[in-house]
Amino acid sequence: MAVQFINGPVVERRAKTNVARNGSRGVKPRAKNGEAAAKPISFGPLAAWIGFNLRMAQETAFQAFSRRSQEVGESPGRFATLTLIARNPGISQTELSQAAGRDKSSLTPVVEDLVRRGMVERARTRDDRRTYRLNLTTAGKKTLTQLTRCARRHERNLDAVIGPRDRKRFIQILKKIAAEIE
Amino acid sequence: MAVQFINGPVVERRAKTNVARNGSRGVKPRAKNGEAAAKPISFGPLAAWIGFNLRMAQETAFQAFSRRSQEVGESPGRFATLTLIARNPGISQTELSQAAGRDKSSLTPVVEDLVRRGMVERARTRDDRRTYRLNLTTAGKKTLTQLTRCARRHERNLDAVIGPRDRKRFIQILKKIAAEIE
DNA sequence: TATTGTTATACTCTATAACTATA
DNA sequence: TATAGTTATAGAGTATAACAATA
């Protein structure tokens, strides 16, 4: 993977047929057995910018987590949804969509899929029969546990890269960006 | 915007009709005039995780840049493409796709659009008539200048949030994540 | 009238596979 | 046979608008 500084793919989908990828993450294409090296690509001033590097780091980290969650057979998006339901038992679909920052219509197929696969239960509420209460089933809890394990391993890798000294401040800055950037 | 810790929309598309958004970025829904406050949403352990915060920060920053580039009438993706062509004059479409980490087929409509709108020139090479050389036109350079200006304003905001003391180390960590996380 | 969830529809970005024209 | 670029097609994730049921 290389730039992705604008729109990265949501999950790792390595191009298999069409592109002869160079295996390295770096910018410089590799010369292979005696061929002339392909010319290195320049990214200009971008390489020094925060926005660019934030994008690249997030992209890489997200793809790594994607791979892990796919080993469990789930998309990373399911982790989000399952976590929110687990931590907020009985949440309604509208509340869930607001928490996730999505339109409620976007959630319909997601919830449907989770219900169909036995991860989530829906129950009408008594007092307002328009809404559903969502809860995890046993299977849903199990899957969430697996995904959480993936996330922890991933997190350990990030920790190792960052180092204990800077971790706190790093997260603090990320939170500040999420809260304050317009 | 709220969670987006998994799949954020690529550009800011505020839900206008269906969702009653609370204006704050924060997690806690606001109580409005005497109504009972909606129950606050819990994110569980996620709130302390690097991956989660990286995602949230990048999402917020990216959306902010999206808004700015849309003021210029371009998608943020065009900034990527134009920059790469500008910094690597005569680059081929395949090289461009590799630099961007995308399949070359994904680039066809993008380049086509830029050529149609007079931003990019394509010329067949003499020695290998399969490949094109891509270059910015005057209009393309002008647009890139505008986008670069957007990016600089955005970058200043990020700088202000991070503060001069931590900036260098912050970028260093982001680069390390992009390079080392598996 | 307002809200919850669904449906219909469309858009963006991306990929894979097969094709063409060249090498 | 291999490569550069195109075309056809598909899929994931998202949105808007209109709707039925309910409040």
Q: Express each pLDDT in B82-92 by its tens digit.
A: 999 999 999 99
Q: Give bridge partners of residue B132 from the DSSP assignment.
A: B124
Residue A1 has pLDDT above 80, yes or no: no
> Using alpha carbons only, how large is chain B's radius of gyration in Å?
21
Q: A29: pLDDT confidence band, cut at 50, 70 and 90?
A: very low
Residue A166 has pLDDT above 90, yes or no: yes
Please report the pLDDT score of residue B38 as a whole number.
56
Residue A7 has pLDDT above 70, yes or no: no
Least Cα distance to B6 among A24, A168, A134, A106 occurs for: A106
Nearest-angstrom CA–CA distance, B105 and B109: 8
Please report the pLDDT score of residue A28 as a whole number.
35
Instruction: Name B141's Cβ contacts closer than 8 Å, sequence gap at least 6.
Output: B86
Residue A50 has pLDDT above 70, yes or no: yes
Top pLDDT among A18 and B127 is at B127
Least Cα distance to B174 among A102, A52, A116 occurs for: A52
Please report the pLDDT score of residue B32 as a whole number.
34
Inter-chain CB proximity A103 and B18 less than 8 Å: yes
Among A46, A151, A158, beta carbon nearest to B177: A158
Please report the pLDDT score of residue B137 as a whole number.
97
Q: How many CA atoms lie within 13 A of B109 on its CB side?
A: 3
Please report the pLDDT score of residue A131 as a whole number.
97
Q: Give bridge partners of residue A132 from the DSSP assignment.
A: A124
Nearest-angstrom CA–CA distance, A130 and B181: 45
Q: A38: pLDDT confidence band, cut at 50, 70 and 90?
A: low
Q: A34: pLDDT confidence band, cut at 50, 70 and 90?
A: very low
Please report the pLDDT score of residue B40 as a whole number.
86
Across A104-119, average pLDDT = 96
Spell out, as residue ranges, where chain B has pLDDT lower than 50.
1-37
Q: Which domains does chain B have, with CATH numbers?
A: 1-64 (no CATH), 75-182 (1.10.10.10)
pTM for the complete prediction?
0.82
For strand C, the positions having any atom within 7 A of a protein Cβ are 3-8, 12-18, 21-23
Whether CB of B108 is under 7 Å from strand D: the answer is yes
Residues 99-158, chain A: which have Cβ within 8 Å of B?
99-105, 148, 151, 154-155, 157-158
Least Cα distance to A43 among B45, B32, B175 occurs for: B175
Q: Which residue has the tokens 């920052």?
A: A101
Percentage, residues of chain A above pLDDT 90: 67
CA torsion angle A173 A179 B1 B6 (round to 10): 10
Nearest-angstrom CA–CA distance, B94 and B105: 9
Please report the pLDDT score of residue B162 as a whole number.
96
Please report the pLDDT score of residue B182 as a whole number.
85
Please report the pLDDT score of residue B54 as a whole number.
93
Question: Angle at Cα B96 formed by Cα B95 and Cα B98, nearest 5°?
Answer: 65
